[in-house]
Amino acid sequence: MEIVTVPCLSDNYAYLVKAPAGVCLIDAPEAGPIIEALEARGWGLETLLITHHHHDHVGGVAELRERYGCTVIGPRAEEAKLPPLDTAVAGGDSLTLAGTSVEVIDVPGHTLGHVAFYFPEASAVFTADSLVALGCGRVFEGTPEMMWQSLSRLAALPPETMVYTGHEYTTANARFAMTIEPGNEALKLRSDAIAKARTEGHPTAACMLSEELATNPFLRPDSPEIRDLLGMPDASQAQVFAEIRGRKDRF
């Protein structure tokens, strides 16, 4: 399978997945760049998967549906806030789309009905605004505990899974991460690599889960260094996560 990153709006990404029997799109921030990417490759569009209801993830749905007649799939819990769905899904659902299997994972926190889409045959998960590279989405509708549970589900995927996130936030996330775990040598190396990639104009929102587990402070509330820095040696993982999220909100 081929996965194409499509920059949209100011810092969003959509993703095209060329599967054995067609093309799937994950999120549609705007139609124009997605149409350009499809036409450049001579591809159609069979399926459009929506992760959550925010406009910067659904703004292009109507135009793409009209142009390609694609099937639109999104979270049942947010159906009333979404463009009309052909199929509503929830965590635990398994689908066969364009000849490949797709698993739906509930990841509430950023929004209450946010889902991620896991393509096991491609070792890829599309997380939008739940887990993001070196960070996580703001907790707008849920609670820190809810977001921590969502990230824990994603962290349990095979470490070789590629994580495709919804925004180019990595540079700012790296700066913050260094304030939380400054002694993490893997984080230092990754921060340098991110700075180089962005200088060269390359996207940095896709990453290996194993790299996230080693460097993303939001996945590392059990790190002794983080706990010492925060003064929370005996707190639960959810409590440490909530403190990190609060500090990021004020960063």
Q: Which residues pair with 206 in a beta bridge?
A: 164
Identity (one letter) of the amino acid at 120? P
Strand pairing class (162-165; 206-208): antiparallel
Question: Would the annotation count 56 as a binding residue?
Answer: yes
**What does the CA dihedral 24, 71, 129, 103 come to, rounded to 10 degrees?**
-70
Phi, psi of 24 (to 5 degrees): -110, 145
Left (φ > 0), alpha (ψ -120 to 50) or beta: where does 231 sit? left
Question: Would the annotation count 114 as a binding residue?
Answer: no
Question: Would the annotation count 202 as a binding residue?
Answer: no
For 185, residues 6+ apart whose C-beta sits below 8 A from its C-beta are none
**Residue ranges at the known binding site for Zn(2+):** 52, 54, 56-57, 110, 129, 167
**Residue ranges at the known binding site:** 52, 54, 56-57, 110, 129, 167
